[in-house]
Amino acid sequence: MPRPIEVRKVPIEHVSDASGLADLIDQGVFSADDVIAVVGKTEGNGGVNDYTRIISTNAYRAVLEEKGTRTKEEVAQVPLVWSGGTDGVISPHATIFACAPEGRYQPTDEPRVTVGYAMSDVLLPEDIGRPAMVEKVAAGVRVAMERAGITDPADVHYVQTKTPLLVQDTINDAERRGETVFTHNTLESMDVSNATTALGVAVALGEIEMPTPEQIFHDLSLYSSVASCSSGVELDQAQIVVVGNARGVGGRYRVGHSVMKDALDMDGVWEAIRDAGLDDMPADCIHPRHIKGRLVNLFLKCEADPTGRVRGRRNIMLDDSDVAWHRQIKACVGGVVAAVSGDPMNFVSVAAVHQGPSGGGPVIAIVDLGV
């Protein structure tokens, strides 16, 4: 049986700040060796050349090495999933998942958070956007589920991944070997990598059948309701973190999910919070004060609706040549979610193709039930 989990959110006060992690270790909330995974937002541009993700990776791994007993190679296997870009009011932060110290929590029959992680087989540049990537990600998700002690896919509420995207060097590498790539547009490859990964999650959880090559990045009716996929230049495998609920684990935390049907769907956010266990809130006139400090964090994916409209009203995000739609929709949804939670420190990531319904996206809530 997996050990009970601590889930803590800490601010990132400057680009290389890992003091929040160090403080929790020093306070005995958990040990460095018990950190399972970190999911966070960094303050770069969120694009292909956003190296703030690497800076945060190095800072957090340095703390884990300094304060723990794991080797550098072992620490390198801890998933650190960074999503770049804190547009609008989104505040840089990290959510840390760690095993609680032995004896802190007693087992309970109530559903409580459990976490598993895995690294996929190496993803070659020619895999991105193709069935090979779907299969490799799906295999990794199944391993992470097993490590979390989850046998029923319905108990999985959140799958966070980080995968490679295409850059000119990897494109050239594939072509030197006689292979082709899905796209030569490196920015588009970020969306493609996220989308293909989401289909791998959906296949592993039985949400969809194995897609055909033609459906990848095109058939928007295929999606996962729990996948949150990011990509970057700092890795060549899929980092996979599965978060679900299990009975018999114990602890204070519970996870739930829903979907935002569009960029303004506050009801979808509240539904996720209720699904996580805060079901004592009023049916209407909901306000952040009803959360009462029990929400640990919200994790969302978003995208500009491909129709160019939200609730029938036209917007110009997809036509704007000055500011990429990635940044505009992230700022928009970040503001909507902060209005719900009362806290700008939420995980909002862009490029949500195959992650939730088109124009919307999954929303995951983790709450602290205190018992």
Give the pair of three-digit tokens for residue 31. Answer: 């040990």
Residue from 9, 41, 136, 162 carrying the catalytic annotation = 162
Residue 306 CA to residue 263 CA, distance in Å, equals 12
230 labelled catalytic: yes
Q: Are 21 and 10 in contact (CB under 8 A)?
A: yes
261 labelled catalytic: no
Residue 128 CA to residue 99 CA, distance in Å, equals 33
Crossing angle of the two packed helices 52-67 and 19-26, in degrees rounded to 10: 20
Residue 221 CA to residue 199 CA, distance in Å, equals 11
Distances from the Cα of 118 to the Cαs of 80, 140, 143, in angstroms? 12, 6, 6
Close Cβ partners of 4 (under 8 Å, ≥ 6 residues apart) = 99, 100, 104, 105, 112, 249, 250, 251
Nearest CA to 347 out of 145, 141, 96, 154 is that of 96
Chain centroid, CA 325 distance in Å: 20
- Output the CA torsion sign for 40, 363, 100, 368: positive
What is the Cβ-side half-sphere exposure of residue 158, based on CA atoms within 13 angstroms?
29
The C-alpha angle 79, 225, 235, rounded to 5 degrees, equals: 25
Residue from 230, 231, 349, 358 carrying the catalytic annotation = 230
Beta partners for residue 228, in sequence order: 160
Catalytic residue ranges: 162, 230
